[in-house]
Amino acid sequence: MSERDRVFAGSIPALYDRYLGPLLFEPYANDIARRLSDLTEGRLLETAAGTGIVTRALASRVLNHVQIVATDLNQPMIDHAATHISSPRVTWQQADALNLPFGDASFDCVVCQFGIMFLPDKPKAYREALRVLKPGGHFIFNVWDNIEENQFAHLVAESVESLFPDDPPMFLKRTPHGYHNRQAIRHELEEAGFSVAKCETITFRSCASSPSHPAIGYCQGTPLRGEIEARGASRLQEATDAATEAIAAQFGTGAIDGKIQAHVFSAFR
């Protein structure tokens, strides 16, 4: 994974939240919040919180006696997230999931939505989650399935790669959709010390009012943008247009919906 794959700055957080939030992340955020609806008290830690999509779902679904600490490595993501939710039981904090600034056994639950793939040392992240969990604590996270099972991402990746045949941008395949082997992930969790309760593959339909929305979201609202601009700053709009055309060719020019698929892991200390 390139170090640039972890950079979410400039206009990326707002575009990410506007275009990819409803398209990709809200269905799975609601799924995670539903799984934790029986958490009645204690402290919940969210790592790689991004723009706070899961945080908002948790704050609305998890009971008021639960305190939520939402963290992310990127301060711009936290700053954007904090503008969307104001709750006395949500605390925002910049933190690295590989070196959490919290004491041992200080949380009842750790949540991470689509963030594990961005961590350069995943086993260390699992050990850190285990360390800060209380005995019997719950760790729940999700990862995207392979890119072929996620239609919009696949079309965007293929169309952008075709513009740069000698040096194709590989962010989407390399990072968001590059960590999906269920058996390997289960093994890493168990090696870290977790008891893996279950892994479920969850499929949703991703809806957008226009084929341009996923194209803008992926090309301009993720680190794919940096890869495109590194090959020519003027080519960002060209890549976005190519992705829009590819999606429209398969799904039409009006409202669209496509398959998205992810694995959800539940593990316990």
Q: Where are the alpha helices (DSSP H) in the chain?
A: 12-15, 26-35, 53-61, 75-82, 122-132, 151-163, 171-174, 182-192, 212-220, 224-230, 236-251
Q: Which domains does the chain have, with CATH numbers?
A: 3-268 (3.40.50.150)
- Gap between the Cα atoms of 231 and 220, Å rounded: 14
Query: How confident is the model over 160-200, as pLDDT tens digits?
Result: 999 999 999 999 999 999 999 999 999 999 999 999 889 99
Residues in the chain: 269
- Gap between the Cα atoms of 57 and 44, Å rounded: 13
This prediction has a pTM of 0.94
Relative to beta strand 195-208, strand 133-144 is unpaired
Confidence of residue 49 (pLDDT cuts 50, 70, 90): very high
Quick check: 90 and 20 in contact, CB under 8 A?
A: no
Question: What burial class does residue 127 get, using C-beta atoms within 10 Å of its C-beta: 0-12 exposed, 13-18 middle, 19+ buried?
Answer: middle
Query: What is the DSSP code (8-state) at residue 121?
Result: -
